Chain A
Amino acid sequence: MKTEPLPRSATGPAGGGPAAGRRSYALEQVSEYLGSFTGGQVVDLGGACQSTIEYVTGLGHRLYAEDVLHTLGQGAEDGRLPADCLDFPPSSVDVTLCWDRFQFLTEAAAVALQERIHRVMAPGGLLLALFHPEQTASVSPLSCRVADARHLLLASAGPPRPLRPFTTRMIERFFQRYDSLKFYLTRENLQEVIVRR
C-alpha cells in the first residue's frame, strides 16, 4: 500500500503527543460540501483550534466552537442538555464536526446531543463523527484539527477516559433518524462516519 506523506505545515497538538496528520476521506466529503457554497454555519464540538478556524473561515463560513466534554461533563444524565448548548435555530447548521465526543458522554447525554444536532442541522447537511475500535475500554479524547481539505491532525488530549463502545450496528441505530450514513475504516482502526441529515 502506497503511503501518503504527512502534512508538515500544521500546528502542534493541544497538550498531547506529536500530532499525526493523515488523510481523511470523511473530511474530503465535508470539504467538498463546504466548497460548494459560502456563508454557511459549521459547528466544531471538539473545541476551538486555530487551524480548523482558519480552514473553515477561509472558505467563507462561520465556525461555532464548543467542547461538549467540557459543557456536558458528567451532566445531562437525565437526557437534557443545557439551554445554551448548540443554541441554534432549527435547520441552520450546515456541517457538524463531532469527532469522537459521543463515546465519552453518558448514553442519555449522547442521545440528547444527537437529537439536538438533528434539530439544528439543515436538511442535506453533514455530520462527521469518529468512533474508536469496539474493544477499546478507555482512551484519551482526540484533539482533532483540520490541516487542509484532505488532512486531519489527531492527537490525544488529556488523560484516558472510559468510553462507551459503539458497534457498527449501534452507530446505524444511533443515527437512524438521519438520511444516510457512510463508514470509512482508517489505519488506526478508527471508524470515520459521515452522516447526512
Chain B
Amino acid sequence: MSTHPTRPAEYGTVRSGALIGKSLEITGEIRGAEDLVIDGRMKGDIELPDHRLTIGPSGVLHGKIRAREIVVYGTVQGNLEASERVEIKKNARVVGDLKAQRPVIEDEAYFKGNVETTRTEAPKAAAAAAQPAQAAPATQPAAQPSAQTAAAPAQSQGSAPRQENRKG
C-alpha cells in the first residue's frame, strides 16, 4: 500500500490517502482514518467512517464497506453504507445493498440490490404517518384506494382504462 499526495483527476477530489495498486491482492479487514483508493483485489470489510473510499476501474472488492463517501468505478460485491454519498459510476458493477444520504447510480452502471436513503429530515410522507391516528404498518397500509378513486382516470386523456376484472 502506498501513500499518494495527489490522485489522478479521474477519481475526483481525493487529495491524499492510500492506494492499493492494481497488482495487489489483499484478504482481511481495513480500518482507517484517511482516504483510500483500491485498484487491486480485496476480500474483506472496509471501514473508513470519516473518509472516502474509491474503488478504481480495475478494483474488485468482496466485502462490506462503511465510509463517509464511497465512489465505485470497478466491482463490488457486498453492502455499501455511507454517512454522506455513494456514487456508482458508469460501467461499475455492484451487487449488494446500498445505504446513504445521497445514493447516485449512473446510467450504464450495473447494480443489483436494495437502495435506502438515510435522512436528517423526515421524508415527505413521514410527517403524515407520524400522527398516531394515521400511522399504518409498513406492509399493510390502512387506506386502500377506493373503487371510486381507481376509476377516476377514466375521465382523463392520455390513456384510458379499458376494463377492470375483479375476482372474489
Complex contacts, B126 vs chain A, CB 8 Å: 38, 60
Q: A184–B129 contact, CB under 8 A?
A: no
Complex contacts, A65 vs chain B, CB 8 Å: 105, 111-113, 115
How many residues of chain A have a CB within 8 Å of chain B?
A: 62
Q: B124–A59 contact, CB under 8 A?
A: yes
Q: Which of B13-21, B35-43, B156-164 contacts A (4 or more CB under 8 A)?
A: B156-164
Q: A183–B153 contact, CB under 8 A?
A: no
Judge if A159 is at the interface, Cβ distance under 8 Å.
no
Contact of A15 with B114 at beta-carbon distance under 8 Å, contacts A25-B158, A179-B167 already known: no
Complex contacts, B115 vs chain A, CB 8 Å: 48, 53, 56-57, 62-65
By secondary structure, the A interface counts as: mixed
How close is A35's CB to chain B, nearest CB, in angstroms?
Answer: 6
Nearest CB in chain B to that of A186: its residue: B159
How close is B119's CB to chain A, nearest CB, in angstroms?
Answer: 8
Complex contacts, A71 vs chain B, CB 8 Å: 112
Q: B167–A37 contact, CB under 8 A?
A: no
Contact of A184 with B161 at beta-carbon distance under 8 Å, contacts A49-B105, A53-B115 already known: yes
How close is B146's CB to chain A, nearest CB, in angstroms?
Answer: 10
Which of B111, B145, B162, B166 lies in contact with A48, CB distance below 8 A?
B111
- Interface residues, chain A, with chain B CB atoms under 8 Å away: 1-4, 11-15, 22-26, 28-29, 32-41, 47-50, 53, 56-60, 62-67, 70-71, 91-92, 94, 122, 124-125, 168, 172, 179-187, 192
Which 8 pairs from chain A and chain B are nearest by CB?
A60-B123, A25-B153, A39-B138, A48-B111, A57-B117, A37-B141, A186-B159, A14-B107
